[in-house]
Amino acid sequence: MRAKILYSIPVFWFAGVASLAYHAVSVFLFSSKSEKTKIPKLLLPLLVFVAVYVFSLAANFYQSPVDRFVASIYNLSLWVSGIMVASSYFVYYNQIEKQAKVLLFSILAAALLCFFTNSEIVLKSLVSMAISTDSLPPLIKDTVMLKVFTSDWFDASVNYRNSIFSPYSTATGAMAIILLAIATNNISSRSREFFFLFVVAFICAASTFSRISVFVVVLYAVLRLYLDLPRNYRKFLLFSHPLPSAFVCRKFWRL
């Protein structure tokens, strides 16, 4: 069951509990590891950040409105879930790379439709069918509705954003980035497959109209390309002119 864990994300989304999917997946992966639990050293800065976050919440408990405090607790839970996922990733990444590709292409299918749509698509989830959502706070109501495409104002006109599998478009863009990282973990950045998956993720991010998502997709590809270069070429890139640096990148990204 744990080998198919990523496929639970669409299930949570259709059910209307996508806001809890990340927590459920991280707890499941972390608690079902057969190996001894270890926190990677790379996560130590994040642990320090979480500790400071907890101290800040405790120090401002009596000064913050209840809704703000609850929202901060939820944000904290996402960081803790991230630590749990990262410490489990090295155990399961070989099992979830294929799942990541399937989900990435599912987002791509929605992205291609989004570029040609001229209306929002918001559907009811299983939760919204079972209970009345009229009295729910706006933020919670957003998470129990299936926002496939949402509208927003860009460049003096209305554009439609891809929001599939997530409460918000930016979250869909972030999901595409994470799926790209998982799907290309064992693939050379100089291969055609990497370039193809990069283009897929770029289209997915572009369909959300999230500039930060598009930027991070490109940044990820650049960093992977840089890290896969021989050490002497990496030094050359750091200290040379941009034009020869671009030549080296082109030489080692064989398409």
Write the DSSP string, the chain.
Answer: -GGGGGGHHHHHHHHT-HHHHHHHHHHHHHHT-SSPP---GGGHHHHHHHHHHHHHHHHTTTTS-HHHHHHHHHHHHHHHHHHHHHHHHHHHHHHHHHHHHHHHHHHHHHHHHHTT--S-EEEE-HHHHHS--TTS-HHHHHHTEEEEEEEEEETTEEEEEE-TTSSSHHHHHHHHHHHHHHHTTTS-TTSHHHHHHHHHHHHHHHHTT-HHHHHHHHHHHHHHHHHTS-HHHHHHHHHS-HHHHHHHHHHHS--
pLDDT for the residue numbered 89: 60
What digits encode the pLDDT tens for the residues 113-137? 998 888 888 888 888 888 877 777 6
pLDDT at 241 over 70: no
pLDDT at 192 over 90: yes
pLDDT for the residue numbered 238: 62
What digits encode the pLDDT tens for the residues 63-118? 777 767 776 787 788 778 777 776 766 555 666 788 889 999 999 999 999 988 88
Instruction: Identify which has the larger pLDDT, 154 or 197.
Output: 197
What confidence tier does 195 reach under pLDDT thresholds 50, 70, 90?
very high
What confidence tier does 255 reach under pLDDT thresholds 50, 70, 90?
very low
pLDDT for the residue numbered 234: 65
What digits encode the pLDDT tens for the residues 7-44? 888 888 888 887 777 777 778 777 766 555 566 665 66
